[in-house]
Structure formats: C-alpha cells, structure tokens
Amino acid sequence: MADGLQITLYCFAGIGVVWVLVKILALMAACWKYFGRGVADVNQRYGCQGNSWAVITGGSDGIGKGFAEVLAQQGVNVCIVARNEEKMGNVAGQLKMLNPEIQTRCVVADFAKSYQEDFYPRLMGKIEDLDICLLVNNVGVVHVSREADLTEQQIRDLINVNIVSHAVLQKYVVERMRARSQRSAIINLSSYSGEHYAPMYSLYSGSKAFNNYLSIATSEEEREKVDIISFRPMWVQTPMTEGSNGAGVIDPITAAKCCLRDLPYNRWTIGHWKHALNTWMLEKYPTGAYLAASMNVGIKMAEDRKKK
C-alpha cells in the first residue's frame, strides 16, 4: 500500500516538474521573441536590394507609413498605393531624406472604388514593371458605430477596402512572386479585434477576422516561395485610432519593426510585448464581462469622435 502511494506521489511530482519546465521554456521563448530577436533583414531573405520593391497599400499614414520608413532605412525601394496624391508625395520626400539611395513611387488608387471592373487590372498595370519582393496589405477603414446605424454605402466601402482589396491584390501579387528566384513576403494587416469580438467595431472586427484567416491559410498554400504573416496589433497611434495614448499604445514605426521581426518565423504575430501581455490578460475575462467592457469603450470612442 505504501509503495503504491509512493509511486503515485512520484508520478504527480514528475508531472509537476514537466509542467514547470514547459512553462519555463515557454517564458524563455517569449523573452527571446520579444527582446532577443532583431528586425529581419528583408534584403537578405527576400532579395529586396537593387531593383526590387516593397509595395505598401495605405502607406501615406499610420502603420503603412511606419513600414515605409523602416524599409527605407533598410535600403528597400518603396511604392506607396493610396488615394491622396499630395500626402503620398510628402511621405515619398521623407523617405528620400531617410535614405537618398532608394527609389520611390506613388500610385493613386481609391480602394473604395475597387468594385469597378477594371480597377485591379489598371492598378497592376501601374506596377507591372516592379519586381515585388514584399507586399504590405495595409489599407483599411474603420467605423465606430452600431452595425445597424451604418449606411449601406459605408458597409460596402468597408468591405471593398478591408476585405476585397486584401484578397484580390494578394492573388495578383502572389502570381508574380511565384516566378521570382528568391523568396518573397506578404504582410496582411489584421487586428486584435479580428480574433476577439469588438462591439461598436463589429464590421471592422469581422473584416479583420477575414484578413487573419485568409493570411494564415494562404501562408500554407504558398509556403514554398512566399512568407505570409497576419499582423494582429492592438492600439497603435494612427489617424484611424484618433491618436490614442496610453501605456499599451505603440507608435507605427515600433509596430512595423515588431512585425518584421517575426515575419520569417511566424504565420501570425501580435507584435509588441505590451500587446501580447494585454491580450493574455483580456483572454482571462469571462466573455460577457469582456463584451460589456468593450461596448462601453466603443460607445465612448464614438461619442469622442462626434465631438471632433
């Protein structure tokens, strides 16, 4: 009897030791990921030097601009695709100041009008001569509102910008990336809200869930030649978030660096350690409490936007 009890205790002790070791290894892996890894050298892995280009949609503001600046500093030629020609020109000038050696190109395109039959053929024609080593599918819009209070046009525009553009542009660019001699990469901008329900951001949240699932699934489909990652940050200081501030908010350049750090290794990333920690804590909330708290935050954001 005593021997049986002793064996049982040894088994439980062994399980406890294994559990502790697993947790320690997970903590060490997280520390290496968030504090040990550097930003990936896209020139070396994806052949982005010389006449190759990074194409960034929505690159005149926010996270897209952050990617443009980080890539320019690495010596990558940058093509910005956005609807505001003046803003794109200003950003292109800033990139040349950061690195006079790079080339820049600005392509005017309003993705809200991508329902037009010739929209994507015209867009691809404007970048037909570029060897695209990296695509940042960043363009997006958000409405802070109850879904039923949006107009039909707002719903259609958001779907065209946030969903259709990511899927169709990725399709056309992947077709060209398959023919490259080196690996290529695609970064699809999703969001924390694409994995967790977001009242008052319901349509945006649904679109980001689409981006996330599309990205992870196609990362397996194209793994032989293309690294595809879903980037799911929380709050970043951008015009879309009305310049949010707080302990968990990061700037666009930091966000871009965190994503590029994980690009060669992961199918998805939250990015910054602050966002990973916030996500871990929020996942401990009961669903009902989380939804209620999110709803209150969303209502306050909507009221603040109306005041502005």
Q: Where are the beta strands (DSSP E) in 125-246?
A: 131-137, 184-189, 226-231
What is the average pLDDT across 267-288? 88
Share of the chain above pLDDT 70, in %: 92
Strands 226-231 and 268-269: parallel
* Alpha-carbon span 303 to 101, nearest angstrom: 46
Cα 5 to chain centroid, rounded: 53
Contact 233, 269 (CB under 8 A): no
pLDDT in tens, 59-81: 999 999 999 999 999 999 999 99
What is the average pLDDT across 216-239? 94
pLDDT over 90 at 172, yes or no: yes
pLDDT over 90 at 276, yes or no: no
Distance (Å) of CA 172 to CA 63, 166, 168:
23, 10, 6
**Cα dihedral across residues 222, 224, 230, 231: positive or negative:** negative
- Catalytic pick among 10, 204, 213, 285: 204
Distance (Å) of CA 67 to CA 71, 253, 283:
6, 7, 29
The average confidence (pLDDT) of the chain is 90
Q: How many residues does the chain have?
A: 308
pLDDT in tens, 131-164: 999 999 999 999 999 999 999 999 999 999 999 9
Catalytic residue at 10?
no
39 exposure class (CB count in 10 Å sphere: 0-12, 13-18, 19+) = middle
DSSP of 139-153:
------S-GGGS-HH
Note the pLDDT of residue 290.
Answer: 87
- What pLDDT band is residue 4 in, cutting at 50, 70 and 90? low
Edge-to-edge, what's the strand order for the sheet holding 268-269? Answer: 104-108, 77-82, 52-57, 131-137, 184-189, 226-231, 268-269
Please state the pTM of the whole predicted model.
Answer: 0.89
- What pLDDT band is residue 27 in, cutting at 50, 70 and 90? confident
Of 270, 253, 276, nearest to 191 (Cα)? 270
Is residue 165 classed as helix, strand or coil in its secondary structure?
helix
